[in-house]
């Protein structure tokens, strides 16, 4: 699960939404290597083993 750092951003701060999006993009970019590795491992397994 990707969890951006948004603890300091108030839920009602619509002016800060761009910062929230940026934090989400940074979290996704940081997790991308692991996501790609997991996908590669799943693609290399026969269909019966994938769950």
- What was the pLDDT predicted at 26? 94
Cα angle at 19 between 15 and 23, to 5 degrees?
150
- What is the maximum span of the chain, computed from C-alpha positions, in angstroms? 48
pLDDT tens profile 15-37? 888 888 999 999 999 999 999 99
Mean pLDDT score across all residues of the chain: 87
pTM of the model: 0.64
Rounded Cα distance, 24 and 14, in Å: 15
Whether the predicted pLDDT of 40 surpasses 90: yes
Confidence of residue 50 (pLDDT cuts 50, 70, 90): low
The larger pLDDT score, comparing residue 47 to residue 15, is at 15
Going from the C-alpha of 43 to that of each of 19, 20, 30, the distances in angstroms are 35, 33, 22
Token reading at 12: 């009602």
Count how many residues are written for the chain: 51
């Amino acid at each position: 699960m990707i969890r951006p750092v948004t603890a300091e951003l108030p839920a009602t701060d619509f002016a800060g939404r761009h910062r929230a999006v940026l934090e989400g993009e940074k979290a996704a970019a940081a997790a991308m290597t692991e996501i790609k590795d997991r996908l590669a491992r799943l693609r290399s397994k026969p269909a019966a083993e994938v769950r």
